[in-house]
Amino acid sequence: MTINWQKEVEDRKEALLEDLKDLLRINSEREDDKMTADAPFGPGPKAALKHMLAYGERDGFAVKNVDNYAGHIDYGEGDETLGVFGHMDVVPAGDGWDTDPYEPVIKDGKIYARGSSDDKGPTMAAYYGLKIIKDLGLPLSKKIRFVIGSDEESGWADMDYYFQHEEAPDFGFSPDAEFPIINGEKGNVTLYAEFGGSSEGEDELVSFHSGLRVNMVPGTAEAAILVKDTVTIAEMKEHFEAFVEKHPIEGTFVSDENAVAITVIGKGAHGASPQSGINAATFLATFLNDYSFGSAAKEFIHTAAFIHEDFYGEKLDVAHEDEKMGRLTMNAGLFKFEKDVQDGNMISLNFRYPKGTTADQLEEGVRAVIGTAGVKIIQDDRNQEPHYVPVDDPLVATLLSVYEDHTGEKGAEKVIGGGTYGRLLKRGVAYGAMFPGYTDTMHQANEFMELDDLFRAAAIYADAMYRLAK
């Protein structure tokens, strides 16, 4: 039986696009202050999860919502289960958008919205792949379970809860990365440098804030300062304007008597590739490092300036490289300092590390370099170790074969720093939906997905699921 998967997608592309638009209109950012027992990650992730599961009900699938943490859409029967993992939560939209991030806009063959490429667009492409298999009544020897999460961008508490109540599929993939395939993912752990709130000195740091998530390069940073000499304020402003002129940033400097407010604008990016962004916080700290802050404020600014552009952990003396998995990367994502507040002042250091080192070794190394009596180094309790599925595994071989058949291009294995639900399974990988040469806008302003890529991915997903489960 020969199936023209591209034609099947073409027949459904308008419906796919309308379903995706409705999903993108839901602001599904996690909101901790609005969490309830019924909405464990806030109202947005719950609404998006229920909306996605409602598509499954509409189309006649067996559907289960697991207490608004996660859910699944089932098709077929068999002793083995193929799992496909997508997620409905998104990182905060942040600033710098040309359009409303939650009102999808189609322009120049692209759909713009938060979640369009990470991960609502790819999830919808994969869902329509499953829908095509069901619509055609294709016989399967395995069950396909499409699992929908709602906390992938934060702590994966959705999957922790889900697997406490549901069995894990035997093998599978997540449409949340790149083609041809991602069969290896670096380890992922976050360390926090914690500071006190004292701020004595010739200049006084009142506050410093930057960042939205540990896995995002902060695109903006703000600091409030008290300067005791108004002449110094004029000099500081001149110094700042020269600093901005010299570096790839923008900024504002506002003063009122002895109070100064400084804002720096850089460029956000995915925390797995910190070198592709412009970290506004470390640039601001580098500027402020020339001034005379005291005690905890001095330690905070000095530390933030010290790690400026330390993308590979070289200054922190934890650099490491593996032949297959590549180099360790480090993203400084969250910065908070409030004068006279003793708890909560911190800088987050998110590491994506290859085989050959461990989270504990990273913690030990960082503590040796920047840990002092006034700076505590704390390891987050969630550590994901490096993950790899061999290229000769039948799952990997089949997915590469499907990619090659649809594109005419040779497929090859790849390891990334980003973490996907593919690593939830021992035999789990990430598979699309971004094609080689794509423009990466994940976790950035003006996120988009190419419509041609969206539809081409849907055809690949349909064929891949059928070959794996027939």
Around 322, how many Cα atoms within 13 Å sit in the side-chain half-sphere?
A: 20
Q: How far is CA 234 from the centre of its chain?
A: 40
**Mean pLDDT, to the nearest integer, of 42-56?**
98
State whether 408 and 427 are in the same domain: yes
Could you say which of 379, 401, 424 is where a domain stops?
A: 379
**Mean pLDDT, to the nearest integer, of 12-24?**
98
Classified as helix, coil or strand, 260 is strand
CATH number at residue 343: 3.30.70.360
State whether 364 and 407 are in the same domain: no
**Mean pLDDT, to the nearest integer, of 429-449?**
95
Confidence of residue 232 (pLDDT cuts 50, 70, 90): confident
State whether 192 and 180 are in the same domain: no
Give residue-wise pLDDT tens across range 404-423: 999 999 999 999 998 899 99
Which residues, at least 6 apart from 344, have a Cβ–Cβ distance to it below 8 Å?
Answer: 336, 338
Domain that holds residue 447: 5-185+386-469
State whether 198 and 180 are in the same domain: no
State whether 73 and 103 are in the same domain: yes
Residue 267 tokens read as 């460029």
State whether 203 and 343 are in the same domain: yes
State whether 254 and 276 are in the same domain: yes
* pLDDT for the residue numbered 201: 83
State whether 284 and 223 are in the same domain: yes
- Alpha-carbon distance of 319 to 362, in angstroms, equals 9
* pLDDT for the residue numbered 175: 98
The catalytic position among 8, 19, 89, 176 is 89
Helix (H) or strand (E) segment spanning residue 111: strand 110-112
DSSP notation for 89-110: -B----S--SS-TTS-EEETTE
- Alpha-carbon distance of 146 to 173, in angstroms, equals 10
State whether 430 and 456 are in the same domain: yes
For the cut 90, the answer to whether the pLDDT of residue 166 exceeds it is: yes
**Mean pLDDT, to the nearest integer, of 29-47?**
98
Could you say which of 379, 394, 410 is where a domain stops?
A: 379
CATH number at residue 29: 3.40.630.10
In percent, how much of the chain has pLDDT > 70?
A: 100
- For this structure, is 89 an active site residue? yes
Could you say which of 348, 379, 410 is where a domain stops?
A: 379
State whether 18 and 165 are in the same domain: yes
In percent, how much of the chain has pLDDT > 90?
A: 94
Number of domains into which the chain is organized: 2
For the cut 90, the answer to whether the pLDDT of residue 247 exceeds it is: yes
* pLDDT for the residue numbered 195: 96
Rounded to two decimals, the pTM is 0.85
State whether 77 and 89 are in the same domain: yes
Confidence of residue 230 (pLDDT cuts 50, 70, 90): confident
Mean pLDDT score across all residues of the chain: 96
Give residue-wise pLDDT tens across range 120-161: 999 999 999 999 999 999 999 999 999 999 999 998 999 999
* CA angle in degrees (0–180, nearest 5) for 407-139-9: 40
b/e per residue, 229-247, with b = 16+ CB within 10 A? eeebbeebeeebeebbeee
Tell me which amino acid residue 357 is.
T
Give residue-wise pLDDT tens across range 73-87: 999 999 999 999 999
State whether 28 and 167 are in the same domain: yes
The catalytic position among 152, 170, 185, 299 is 152
* pLDDT for the residue numbered 229: 82
Give residue-wise pLDDT tens across range 306-358: 999 999 999 999 999 999 999 999 999 999 999 999 889 999 999 999 999 99
CB–CB of 75/140 below 8 Å? yes
* pLDDT for the residue numbered 202: 86
- For this structure, is 166 an active site residue? no
**Mean pLDDT, to the nearest integer, of 224-229?**
91
